[in-house]
Amino acid sequence: MKSFENLSFNPILCRRELNELKSHLDRNSELKERRNVLPFFRERKHLSAFIGSYFPYINSFDKIAYEYDIFGDFKADLVVGDSNSGWYGFIEFESAKRNSIFRSKTSKATPDWSTDFEHGFSQVLDWFWKLSSQEDKREFSYHFGPDFAGYEGMLIIGRSQDLQPREQDRLRWRRDRLMVNSKRIYSVTFDELYSTLDTRLKLIESYHVVNPDESL
């Protein structure tokens, strides 16, 4: 069983890694999960941890794990935790292709949700099912500690540039309105991910006192 790595979040290193994400997105109109996505984030721990800022009860994002085993049945691409609040975010990465979120059908004007999107979303649902089935067992505390408080999920998939305004609205509506077992699953594109993290990191940078050693 993989354990969590303790991370002392560094906003200077996170800015560097976030800028690299912007360059990565600018260079590649499409991203393949195994080739362009998972290796990129595994090499950038501070950026990966900062994704935890999406979850309202995660403020410290000081625990991180890649390919995290969920009781032997599933693996989460990334899990970010807060040792103070006891909350965790379970994150699934999918590809960023033209039809990653919606796919058009000649027989209808409105595109369907893609198989990639439904597969990724179902992955998170299965994680929730497994976690729910184990919460009252002793082994659960071995994974998450005695101060565990809760969890939510996230699916990162596709590019904003490939979505028409109506489909952007459909994605936002699904993200904002749908809850599973009283838990949210945040579905965002890679471009939305960058934009949101950039805004939040600027807020941190506006009051962060720079220690020269932090940039090393």
- Please give the pLDDT value at position 154: 97
Prediction pTM value: 0.92
Q: Distance of alpha carbon 185 from its chain centroid, rounded?
A: 10
- Please give the pLDDT value at position 214: 53
Mean pLDDT of the chain: 91
**Tens of pLDDT along 43-66?**
999 999 999 999 999 999 999 999
**Tens of pLDDT along 95-104?**
999 999 999 8
pLDDT at 213 over 80: no
Stronger pLDDT, 136 or 24, i.e. the higher one: 24
pLDDT at 209 over 80: no
- Please give the pLDDT value at position 208: 67
Stronger pLDDT, 110 or 121, i.e. the higher one: 121
Residues linked to residue 108 through DSSP beta bridges, in sequence order: 105
Q: Distance of alpha carbon 143 from its chain centroid, rounded?
A: 20
pLDDT at 212 over 70: no
- Please give the pLDDT value at position 118: 96
Average pLDDT over residues 68-72: 91
- Please give the pLDDT value at position 145: 83
